[in-house]
Structure 1
Amino acid sequence: MSGERRIPNFRLQLRRPDMVLDAALDIFSRDGFEKGRMEDIARRAGVTKSAVYHHFPSKTAILEALIRRHCLPETPGATLEVILVELTLGKARAVLDLVLREYRNIPGLGRLYWDEAVRRVSERATASMEEAESVVRAALSRTVVDRVFG
């Protein structure tokens, strides 16, 4: 035995959707949404293609789940200023970059991101919708400026 601890199957099953989403974010960030293949996502996640389809019926469903799960990290008690920074870092930034790259090709993608980000900012900071929209707008502006001029 190699001394490596195996993850019990039931625990692995609970983590599988997250593993698929992390793999999908890597693949879509590298190859783009259109060229990203379910086979590549499955391979990166260490699961079968049928396991990917078990959790997500399509690539579009994966993309929607990525937005819902990663558009804003879960930091309890964050201020609007902290949330503004969080929207432009890590997985949240990778999702935002993906949305900015693909929104013209996928109807409703920009609206889904906007609605989800504003809702989550408002809930997390107990802010008004106007304040939340202002934070999301600032994060979008910052990200676009970084991509164009950075």
Structure 2
Amino acid sequence: MSEQDNQRGPKFRRRAEARPDEVLDAALDLFITKGFAATRVEDIARQAGLSKGAVYLYFPSKEALMEGLVRRAVAPIASLALHQLEGVEGDPRLAISATLRMVAGKLADPRLIAIPRLIMREVVQFPELAEMYRKEVLEQIIPVAIGLINRGIAEGYLRPVDPELTVRSIVGPIALHLILAEVFRMTPADGLAMDRLMDNHLAILFDGLSLPERAK
């Protein structure tokens, strides 16, 4: 930090440190209302009360802004999911259930769920957004989840299923639920109803995935 910044005092420093989040908040508001493609950096700067040049000091492109949103909101959920899935001992269904319920609870936040929604909307026109989301989120979680399924099979908790395809079956209904709501505007009467979806999904999942008692 410069000597000039120090002379301006702690209030100025707090303001400067908050600016990246202010820019991201402004970008998210505009991406939600106007869409990623239609939003200009100058629009984001105006919304954040900054100059266009000031925005570029923190984020060199509009894609970098979307990456910043993913890192700020979604990547921490991926890290928490990893913490819940890694090093699990005993029945892996407990960790799977806890992780899915945690994700459902986080997705109840409309500003958080807006980010995967935006990626679904814009992915055809901006495939680099999907690539970024894959690297930042999916590639972090999926290998760990596959390992958990493998261990559950080896220890006699789960049926001898294909672990990679099973992970797709676990996350697939959640992704489809969001696609139906976002792309086709088909939602339950009470909205996304993530809690009810998760209860229903886990009941079906574990009835099909669990090894019957007589086979253990």
The gaps in structure 2 that reach 5 residues or longer are 1-9, 85-97, 148-163, 188-216
Query: 1:119: Cα distance to partner?
Result: 5.0
CA contact (8 A) 1:84 1:135 kept: no
| From 21, 26, 30, the counterpart of 1:27 | 30
TM-score scaled to structure 1, two decimals? 0.76
Paired with 1:71 and 1:25, the residues of 2 have a C-alpha distance of: 13
Paired with 1:21 and 1:36, the residues of 2 have a C-alpha distance of: 13
Matched with 1:141 is 176
Shift of the 118–138 alpha-carbon distance from structure 1 to 2, 3 Å rule, reads: farther
| 1:113 matches 2:148 | no
| 1:89 matches 2:109 | yes
Shift of the 105–95 alpha-carbon distance from structure 1 to 2, 3 Å rule, reads: same
Shift of the 83–11 alpha-carbon distance from structure 1 to 2, 3 Å rule, reads: same
- For the pair shown, the structure with the greater C-alpha radius of gyration is 2
Paired with 1:18 and 1:132, the residues of 2 have a C-alpha distance of: 34
Count of residues in Structure 1 that have an aligned counterpart in Structure 2: 142
Tell me which protein shows more helix as a share of its residues. Answer: 2
The gaps in structure 1 that reach 5 residues or longer are 1-6
Query: 1:40: Cα distance to partner?
Result: 1.5
CA contact (8 A) 1:70 1:92 kept: yes
CA contact (8 A) 1:72 1:117 kept: yes
CA contact (8 A) 1:23 1:41 kept: yes
CA contact (8 A) 2:63 2:129 kept: no
| From 54, 67, 80, the counterpart of 2:99 | 80
| CA RMSD between the two structures | 2.9
| 1:98 matches 2:133 | no
CA contact (8 A) 1:80 1:135 kept: no
CA contact (8 A) 2:36 2:122 kept: yes
Query: 1:26: Cα distance to partner?
Result: 0.7
TM-score scaled to structure 2, two decimals? 0.55
Query: 1:133: Cα distance to partner?
Result: 6.1
Paired with 1:19 and 1:59, the residues of 2 have a C-alpha distance of: 15
Paired with 2:47 and 2:167, the residues of 1 have a C-alpha distance of: 35
CA contact (8 A) 2:28 2:69 kept: yes
The one-letter amino acid paired with 2:60 is P
The one-letter amino acid paired with 1:80 is T
Query: 1:138: Cα distance to partner?
Result: 4.1
Paired with 1:87 and 1:36, the residues of 2 have a C-alpha distance of: 24
